[in-house]
Chains A and B, each alone.
Chain A
């Protein structure tokens, strides 16, 4: 783990701070998530480090619990979209022919509908619970992952070593997981960093519109929504979640860049 460049160090540091906060939220937060402890929009003080929110809850505690919700939903949705998208993408690329056509055209169909509108429509008829949110975001995002995975895998499946595996009589599972996947990992990891950020933004957008995480449960988009009136009076409360989202974005991308750099040069593999 030596020779980590400074940018990756910064990225790793902030990413781990956020994830540790998310995991240990109940122990780290000074107050309860929905506990009303002070006046409306108190300025920051030694008692309330970031002040209080629109109904007098401690903003730091809300931020920590909100981060937990946001990061959990984004992580789960990213994992779902990557597993589904890349497996389907590889399967389509390796199979080729009408299988590829059928899956690809279906994905095109889904992608042609703006994902926010699609999500709003679905959420207006479905109950807005966390599992539903995760599945919806995962499915919608998997179309993007599918596109990338298929494009990368199509390049790989024409390589002679894949042909050699086919001539050997290997099953499709071996070709996908042993021949294709290891060589497609670098672009996928880079995309994963990016997709995670999009998932954070997406869940925040939904919550801001009132269709995501429901009160009193906190999440970063929700905190912006609850405190947006305060901006008119010069209250910073709505901006803290924005700072949090921005720093998380940048630090995750710094880490993804570093992993990408490492894996592309590794053992002469392709990028």
Chain B
């Protein structure tokens, strides 16, 4: 066996927390991790948020973000223990031997400088190439990464290219100095599925063409299965399992890995539509004030009592705007919304309190959906007090009932949102919606910000509550796996229009229209070789046309 390019031994990483009014506490983020990475291989680091995967990735550059400190262990790159080297030597390594691709390219590029200058900066600064050579390399990389106009795209500014293209530019940036190792930190997480597949394929090809080794950090096992040779599963700073891709996804040994592999295995039998929908959206057209195009164009959908309508689409498809129109935050310019047999007033201010009560909303970011200065008791108790006039003991009792319903139990009433985990926060938001005894709950990407296992729990809870409370859901999401798990009927939205609408079985069975086909085939599957198959399939189709 050759000497590994990256050798990590007993890596320990810690940070100091400063809770208000208390003594600072030392927290351990990573407790002793070992692994090797051979030249030209790709290692996937996978785990939930807080597992320490990004921290380990940055440690390969001897860097600790924020207050994070590498407290022990060894990190060998090209035969040198970089944790023992001086800062000056580490600086020569960063951007030359090891480079980094971050999650949000949009936030990482300097908006005031041209792409080419930023892509070639490290290579020139580290004296690996002259300016002319670096630019030639950059153009070559742009071509390899499948960017349009590779000769001239470098002259554009970051805002002049799309999100997916920018992410590919960032990959070019990382590969330009001809590094031995690239750390990819969730490079496709912020992208739409249909964009993700292209970026993924481009990254994979570029890695293969340049022979660079990579650490690929992600929370999505299906994604990492496409690009990696080996996978390391992490949980709260410990290595749970390490193996080849094949072994991890087909024969996981540890329980935690098994849970990750089998996530989203919820089965939900679709219900048949009733005659009287609880919400009927007819010919709704809407635009934002001061713009001259319709964000929603003639939308027609029904939601049946006690059932779930999933609205899927990419960012910008108008699905969240639909929610705003239904809630009355954005009055439609045309069309009617009928709720429970009566026509709703277009604007929120004109709707009677009863209409407001029967339609509740749950948000994507539970953090910002709850007032950080109110306790859980106040947050859940307010709708009870506001709609039903409950006070004192009766209110306390009902709050506790609701907390039991969302499986949180005792001792949560006096906590503040900051003292809850992400999943618990979302549960409290669900309880707040339920407190109003609504007929319809609008769920706007409620699981998108959560880790897969936590999201699974939330979906199960929502389905369970639907059975008990007989509430209908309008479920907005970009994630088709979620849709398959919970929907009774589906509306696929694209550029402000519903391109496909029907019951789950109708929408998800062929023949497909072009967009639905693209959307469905872009969802990564936990299968080795899925990426190549899909890309090959698409090439064949477009050749056939």
Contact = CB atoms under 8 A, between A and B. Distances in A.
A169 B368 contact: no
Nearest to B386: A168
B372 A169 contact: no
Interface residues of A, number: 22
B432 A3 contact: no
Nearest to A262: B20
Contacts of A269: 372-373, 418
A98 B464 CA distance: 46
A159 B360 CA distance: 17
Contact of A169 (B20, B371, B386, B418): B386
A39 interface: no
A229 interface: no
A167 B371 contact: no
A170 B356 CA distance: 10
Contacts, number: 63
Contact of B371 (A3, A168, A179, A266): A179
Interface string A166-183: 111110000000110011
B417 interface: yes
Given A169-B356, A170-B386, A268-B417, A164 B369 contact: yes
B356 A168 contact: yes
Contact of A160 (B328, B357, B363, B419): B363
Interface in B357-385: 357, 360-361, 363, 365, 368-374, 382-383
A159 B417 CA distance: 15
A118 to B, nearest CB: 36
Contact of B373 (A169, A170, A182, A265): A182
Given A159-B368, A269-B372, A167 B363 contact: no
A183 B418 CA distance: 14
Contacts of A166: 329, 348
A156 to B, nearest CB: 9
Interface in A229-271: 262, 265-270
B361 A167 contact: yes
B453 to A, nearest CB: 24
B429 to A, nearest CB: 8
A24 interface: no
Contact of B370 (A161, A182, A270): A161
Interface of B: 18, 20-21, 327-329, 348, 351, 353, 356-357, 360-361, 363, 365, 368-374, 382-383, 386, 416-419, 432, 436
Given A267-B372, A267-B416, A268-B418, 13 more contacts: A159-B368, A163-B329, A164-B369, A166-B329, A167-B328, A167-B348, A168-B383, A168-B436, A169-B357, A267-B417, A267-B418, A268-B417, A270-B372
28 contacts: A159-B368, A160-B363, A160-B368, A164-B361, A166-B329, A166-B348, A167-B327, A167-B328, A167-B329, A167-B356, A168-B356, A168-B386, A169-B351, A170-B386, A178-B371, A182-B371, A182-B373, A182-B374, A183-B372, A262-B20, A266-B20, A267-B373, A267-B416, A267-B418, A268-B372, A268-B417, A268-B418, A270-B372
